[in-house]
């Protein structure tokens, strides 16, 4: 994986191509305002979306394993359980505690201006990870580090169009959390990439909330409502794995009777790809901890950082997954 160079004069932009351990405290922990400046330890308040998927678990582990005392950080970590109100509460708690930097992965795109204005007024810089916000006021945050979700959807749409849609196909879509950046962008990218192919027809689209359980439940509903499904497009591996369970329970062979394409490339998804139950995966790299650490250090040092930093994502067919899986870090 490419990593950002250690902060010097600026944080370099990672090349864009085609996409627990650690010391933690809960929100009730206390820290003296400006504590990082007094102790040379950077106090970071991080609000995570939740623990809805294998991707999120890998992302959390990367952050917790990097923002450690040994690396010069004190990490205050909270799990929002996929609720925006929990994240807003956590961010306000971090403001009250006077942390040096706030970082978070927004549950949804909208509704952040108020609490981010509070952080700005308190002089606490904010870094966005994984997911962006739709605010037009870019002074509310220092930087965004993550994947290009639209590009991920486009990559998937192009592969489906070229490899599966040489004849008419009916596609069902398992969307991510309603209102979240990856759900919106991955849908947009896929539809853009397949728009010129009349053989691609999306016959149903519903949120599975990025979870395996809900992915299975929604797929069961799709199978009851439609007898002619050719392809499942899942916005993440976990929903795709749930769809596999539903397809197998219905007496069909996933990857053969119904093709499955997903986004993330976590180990469980890659194993399913190797096994032929998934047909194609576009990666979304969750290992953002080292990059986030470099950005935070640069921000605290008063050094300029890029406003938008996009990580490099790959894509895998069965052969590529077979090669990559043994050394997969997540």
Reported as a pLDDT band with limits 50, 70 and 90, residue 39 is low
Chain mean pLDDT for the chain: 90
At 165-192, the pLDDT tens digits run 999 999 999 999 999 999 999 999 999 9
Following DSSP, what letter does each residue of 267-306 receive, concatenated? HHHHHHHHTTSS-EEEE-----HHHHHHHHHHHHTT----
Query: Which of 306, 298, 330, 289 is closest to 3 using CA atoms?
Result: 289
Higher pLDDT, 217 or 9: 217
Q: Are 41 and 100 in contact (CB under 8 A)?
A: no
Rounded to an integer, what distance in angstroms lies between the CA atom of residue 173 and that of residue 201? 11
Overall residue count recorded for the chain in this entry: 330
Q: What is the pLDDT of residue 2?
A: 34
Is the CB of residue 160 less than 8 Å from the CB of residue 153? no
Specify the pLDDT at position 212. 97
Query: Nearest 5°: phi and psi at 114?
Result: -60, -55
CA dihedral 183, 187, 188, 191 (to 10 degrees): 180
Question: Model's pTM, two decimal places?
Answer: 0.84
pLDDT at 29: 38
Distance CA 28, CA 45 (A): 12
Q: What is the mean pLDDT of residues 115-120?
A: 98
pLDDT at 301 > cutoff 70:
yes
* CA–CA gap between residue 40 and residue 32 (Å, rounded): 13
Could you give the CA distance from residue 171 to residue 42 in angstroms, rounded to a whole number?
48
143-146 and 200-207 beta bridge pairing: unpaired
- Mean pLDDT across the stretch 37-57? 88
Integer Cα distance of 242 and 213 in angstroms: 6
Task: Please report, for residues 90, 232, 240, 317, the alpha-carbon distance to residue 160 in angstroms, rounded to integers and kept in the order given.
Answer: 40, 10, 15, 12
1-18 pLDDT per residue, tens: 333 333 333 333 333 333
Q: What percent of the chain has pLDDT over 90?
A: 85
In order of their start, the domains of the chain are 35-147+286-311 (3.40.50.2300), 149-284+319-327 (3.40.50.2300)
Average pLDDT for 34-60: 83
**pLDDT at residue 220 above 80?**
yes
Lowest mean pLDDT of 3-17, 151-165, 247-261, name the range: 3-17
What tokens appear for 109 in the block? 């795109």
């Amino acid at each position: 994986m490419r990593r950002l160079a250690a902060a010097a004069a600026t944080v370099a932009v990672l090349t864009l191509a085609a996409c627990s351990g650690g010391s933690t405290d809960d929100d009730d922990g206390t820290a003296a305002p400006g504590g990082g400046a007094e102790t040379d330890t950077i106090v970071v308040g991080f609000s995570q979306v939740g623990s809805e998927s294998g991707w999120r678990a890998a992302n959390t582990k990367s952050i917790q394993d990097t923002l450690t005392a040994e690396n010069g950080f004190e990490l205050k970590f909270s799990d929002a359980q996929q609720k925006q109100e929990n994240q807003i509460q956590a961010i306000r708690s971090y403001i009250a505690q006077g942390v040096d930097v706030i970082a978070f992965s927004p549950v949804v795109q909208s509704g952040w201006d108020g609490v981010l204005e509070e952080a700005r007024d308190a002089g606490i810089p904010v870094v966005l990870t994984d997911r962006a916000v739709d605010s037009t006021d870019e002074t509310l945050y220092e930087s965004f580090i993550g994947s290009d979700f639209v590009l991920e959807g486009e990559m998937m749409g192009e592969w489906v169009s070229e490899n599966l849609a040489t004849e008419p196909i009916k596609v069902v879509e398992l969307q991510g959390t309603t209102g979240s950046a990856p759900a919106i962008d991955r849908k947009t990218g896929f539809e853009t990439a397949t728009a010129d192919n009349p053989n691609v027809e999306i016959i149903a689209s519903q949120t599975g909330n990025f979870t395996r359980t809900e992915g299975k439940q929604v797929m069961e509903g799709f199978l009851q409502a439609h007898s002619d499904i050719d392809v499942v497009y899942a916005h993440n591996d976990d929903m795709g794995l749930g769809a596999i369970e539903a397809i197998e329970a219905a007496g069909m062979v996933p990857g053969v009777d119904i093709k499955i394409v997903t986004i993330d490339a976590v180990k469980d998804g890659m194993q399913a790809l190797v096994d032929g139950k998934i047909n194609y995966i576009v990666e979304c790299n969750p290992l953002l901890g080292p990059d986030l650490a470099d950005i935070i250090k640069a921000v605290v040092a008063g050094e300029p950082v890029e406003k938008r930093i996009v990580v490099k994502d790959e894509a895998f067919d069965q052969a590529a997954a077979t090669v990559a899986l043994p050394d997969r870090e997540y």
